[in-house]
A and B are shown apart, each in its own frame.
Chain A
């Protein structure tokens, strides 16, 4: 009985496997004969390396989420395309009071959210109140609202003062507030959608933008559909698909084959080859970021200013940008990119001076008995497309002047943790700007209040009363020329103390197939896809 059963089992397995295979092959034949990829000339597909985390503008900080939300929702003001100038968006006009403590906005009439809730002062309040007020029903307990405390901390209250009038009261003047209101955490969502979508609220954004949220297949695609009632210029493409292609080689293959229309996250090594490809257009521009070497000033050895100076003089940043970034960035002379308030007209950052570096090393042999340890992450960021190569390059340059060096690499989160807790000597890291204001770089990098172990963003643990004073003064000052002078002084102080060595500014790069026009890179790295059109000439 048992024997016969066992034979049947094996025979059944045999047949089962063969018939499954047969069925599969049959289905494959059907699938292949059913024509190629479905006709989708009305869909624009943009691919990136990972998926969005959430789609709630008040509670995200990853680029994938922000890039998706940019198509769906808008703020009161925005950056004029391709610049850091502010222009009206959902506000028709705005004004700032004499004392710099009251901001008034008049909303654009006849604008509706995607769920047809009308935009007025009452409905606009929701997106700000839910971030400020812990008792607000939209202040979800699983959300962190971490941007609110940093970019908007001076907002004391927001009120509706008329049908279409919104007023912000500040506890003290803040010169960067308009810039902050143009950034994604200040985007407006429909208050009605909190009830409609309940626990799915953070995954179903309802804004006023050129595209409506349609569907999300996690780790595959987020599908957006044209908002035919959009108040601004109507987009051309009926749908936009934000898809995930984790492997960058495969992503580029897909672009070349035409399965996708555009992508980010290009490997810099591919840039040169793409320059001569007539089917591909590359958009490239300096990004709003800085990649730098942080010196831990709490470390006994690194506290020596001359040692830091020697390291700075020994590193050839021009060559570093060329060799290690392969054209995907440019060398940095200051802790923030060109064009910011305080950035000097005549650049006299840090010269390359190998002899002087050697002299310092020779004068202080006691500092170099042990190798200098440089920590680095092993995953790419916009400012360091290939961090380990950069670290290795620096090691070579330092050893050439007689500084023994050791490179230690770890994954990004572990690296971040070491830096925040001060468990390092020198570390490669960077900062990506949020709102295009100098304070958003200098306070993050140099303020003593950002140097708390565990939560630091001032990874060099640089503490200087004069620097703190300048940074606070810069926030309060509303006169642009005076602000410019204040940040200029802050930069001089940085050069004197050298808590960090700026290395590179990584580029914003978007690669697109030829045959599309109307796209422009944005300074703060926003991705605005709604303006893309098919070019009139044939591809």
Chain B
């Protein structure tokens, strides 16, 4: 269904991508040849079928703009985005749950509201603004981090085995490369982490304030456990499930935020690639890539939902029985 909607959306664009490929000297003859080659003269049904066959067999078209195979471009740009998003997710969960747990156990209202205000910031301040701020502070003032990019321009990156620089530099046992990768990765990952952190903290905080969790907390306190121990050993078990759901649904937002982050931080990722493809009317690339991303977002959300449900049922029956 998504593919149908996508196909129709692409067809609904009034501009002809082949004509527009020629920005300065459009030539009718050349345009006719290109259209023929792309199968754009056939019926829509045929084109739709062809789109699917090519998508599923991985036999994607070349980009109209760069002439590279779209599959090669995905292999090139997707790991960069995935690496950034995963690290951002780790940061997000850690910061988000720390803030929520801290707010839950903190004794006074001041510290509680400070912890929770981070959530508000994360959900309201635009990410490119956070990005610029992070660059000014982290790079210009502190001088620790580079002003964007993924790896030193003049240095030689580790041999490309997986496309993930962290893994590649570990595989190559290259400490220098690993350090450099991390230095380039930190600021964009922190910025991208702000949104999931805010999400995780608000969901987790709500969950921690539910009556049965409260009861559990009181019961455990009564047994003489310290608050830190309760939070880390027991409450995380109870509260894990909703967090996993949030993670699943945040993936979409992360990929959405990826474009802005990639632009501010000159990160060579898939977000910028897709948006450029749409602006340039690079029809096939946009079609394949969007379908791939839709499937990915749905897949992750679906999977996380299943895991969360399973965890929830299990943990409730256990902790409930105990209380």
Q: Which chain A residues have a beta carbon within 8 Å of chain B's beta carbons? A: 2-3, 5-7, 9-11, 13-14, 17-18, 20-21, 24, 27-28, 30-34, 37-38, 40, 43, 45, 50, 53-54, 59, 61-62, 141-144, 146-147, 149-150, 202-203, 217-221, 223, 239, 241, 243-247, 249-250, 253-254, 257, 259, 379, 411-414, 416-417, 420, 432, 434, 452, 454-457
Contacts and interface: CB of A to CB of B under 8 A. Distances in A.
B153 A221 contact: yes
Contacts of B77: 218-219
B222 interface: no
Given A18-B94, A455-B31, 11 more contacts: A6-B314, A24-B182, A27-B181, A28-B186, A30-B179, A33-B179, A37-B146, A40-B153, A146-B27, A250-B266, A379-B279
A38 B136 CA distance: 21
B110 interface: no
Contacts of A38: 152, 154-155
B210 interface: no
Contacts of A259: 146-147
Contacts of A203: 67-68
Interface of B: 14-16, 19-28, 30-31, 34, 37, 62, 65-68, 73, 76-77, 87, 90-91, 93-94, 132, 135-136, 139-140, 144, 146-155, 157, 175-176, 178-183, 186, 232, 236-237, 240, 262-266, 268, 272-273, 276, 279-281, 310-311, 314-315, 317-318
A320 to B, nearest CB: 25
Contacts of B136: 253
17 contacts: A11-B237, A21-B91, A24-B90, A28-B183, A31-B178, A37-B152, A53-B66, A59-B67, A146-B22, A219-B77, A243-B153, A244-B268, A246-B262, A246-B266, A247-B263, A257-B140, A259-B147
A101 to B, nearest CB: 24
B132 A250 contact: yes
Contacts of A45: 153
A394 to B, nearest CB: 24
A31 B180 CA distance: 5
A10 B152 contact: no
Contact of B266 (A2, A149, A247, A412): A247
Contacts, number: 205
Contacts of A239: 154
A452 B280 contact: no
Contacts of A37: 146, 152
A241 B154 contact: yes
Contacts of B281: 413
Contact of B20 (A14, A28, A53, A417): A417
Contacts of A28: 179, 182-183, 186
A250 B138 CA distance: 13
B148 A3 contact: no
A455 B31 CA distance: 9
Nearest to A5: B314
A469 to B, nearest CB: 23
Contacts of A455: 19, 22, 26-28, 31
A3 B317 CA distance: 8
B19 A454 contact: yes
Contacts of A5: 314
A241 B154 CA distance: 8
A413 B30 contact: no
Contacts of A6: 310-311, 314-315, 318
Nearest to B26: A455
A220 B150 contact: yes
A379 B275 CA distance: 14
